[in-house]
Amino acid sequence: MIKKKTTIKDIANVLNISPAAVSKALHDDSRISVKTKKAVRQVAKNLNYQPNHLASALRSGKSNLVGVIVPRTNSNFFSSVIQNIEEVLNKEGYNIIITQSNESYKKECDSIDTLLYTQVDGIIASMANETVNLSHFEKVKTKGIPLILFDRGENDLNVDYVGIDDYNSSHLIVEHLVKQGCKRIAHIGGYKHTRIYNNRIRGYIDALKKHNLPLDDELLLEGNLTIKDGKAKMLQLLSLKNRPDAVYAASDYAALGAQRVLKENNIKVPDDVALVGFSNEPFTSMVTPSITSIEQHSEAIGKKAANAFLEHVKKDVVTQTLTKHILDVELMIRNSSQKIKSH
């Protein structure tokens, strides 16, 4: 037999009181005596009563739940953002529901539907690589639910956004590589339709122009920035007649894949090819040679995204002035890009 879920009615029957009185006792209503409250809680415990949060959210219009959507949870950047969002929201009495899209547009749409069904009070999201159509995010806005985007977001949605200066990050990287004497700099970028990767590509192109370096189409590659992708793109660059002397990858995972291929082909890093990644994942300082990378300030991004949601709740008006928090970045220079200078 399947065990039936305990309801407020079951508790009421045991104590011979009305279900309304049980509900009030469970919600610590001042009109119910301390003795009754104690009895109700004891019976609820004995019967293993679990409150129906969904029904309660439908009644009150508030669930104290916030949905968080990330492309993947196994990245230090995203897990750190989640941790900081949770830290801020827990203090204000909110719990978070985490879903990951695995860079899939369909999974992202499904996550939005699930979170809306769960009656979340807000959604904090970073978009999947595949996402081009924004109708699922528009649905959140239409329902008047606060939507905050971080790291990857689209200007078209006109919602709160927290991220870094991606365009300037590319300038910092190219500038550093030029100072190391690099003249043929390749870029393994993300897909152009994603705003952050588009900004990194634009920054890369403009920085090359600034330093009068040739912009060669065969040195600019787009991909999904996994380790596997980094390997494939590095092999592609090595097959060129005129190889690059530096590679800037828009993700540390792609940089790690590129580094492995360079090692397998006995190409010295940084002497033959300098290498720079993006995100400052913990492994970048542990591999040999350690990988130069951009610090994205995940802690600050998580805290600012959570506070942006809380601002909406405080003002209770979704049409408030929307804010864009753009944080400065830091280039963590390590062995993979520091060419040894002869004196």
In the block, which residue shows the tokens 């009030």?
24
**3 state SS of 294:** strand
Within this chain, domains 63-164+298-329 and 166-296 share the same CATH topology: yes
pLDDT in tens, 168-218: 999 999 999 999 999 999 999 999 888 899 999 999 999 999 999 988 999
Written as six digits, the tokens of 154 are 């689209």
Q: Where are the domains of the chain?
A: 1-44, 63-164+298-329, 166-296
Q: In angstroms, rounded to a whole number, what is the distance separating the alpha carbons of residues 300 and 316?
A: 24
**3 state SS of 337:** coil
Whether the pLDDT of residue 318 is over 70: the answer is no
Which of 155, 99, 158, 103 has the alpha carbon at shortest distance from 127?
103
The pTM of the full predicted model, rounded to 2 decimals, is 0.78
The set of residues, in sequence order, having a beta carbon less than 8 Å from that of 305 and lying 6+ positions away, is: 81, 85, 124, 148, 150, 160, 162
Q: In angstroms, rounded to a whole number, what is the distance separating the alpha carbons of residues 100 and 190?
A: 19
The top-level CATH class assigned to 63-164+298-329 is alpha beta
Q: In angstroms, rounded to a whole number, what is the distance separating the alpha carbons of residues 298 and 312?
A: 22
Written as six digits, the tokens of 246 are 């530096």
Structural fold of domain 166-296: Rossmann fold (3.40.50)
**3 state SS of 327:** strand
pLDDT in tens, 258-298: 999 999 999 999 999 999 999 999 999 999 999 999 999 99
Q: For residue 247, how far is the Cα from the chain centroid?
A: 25
Q: What is the DSSP letter of 217?
A: G
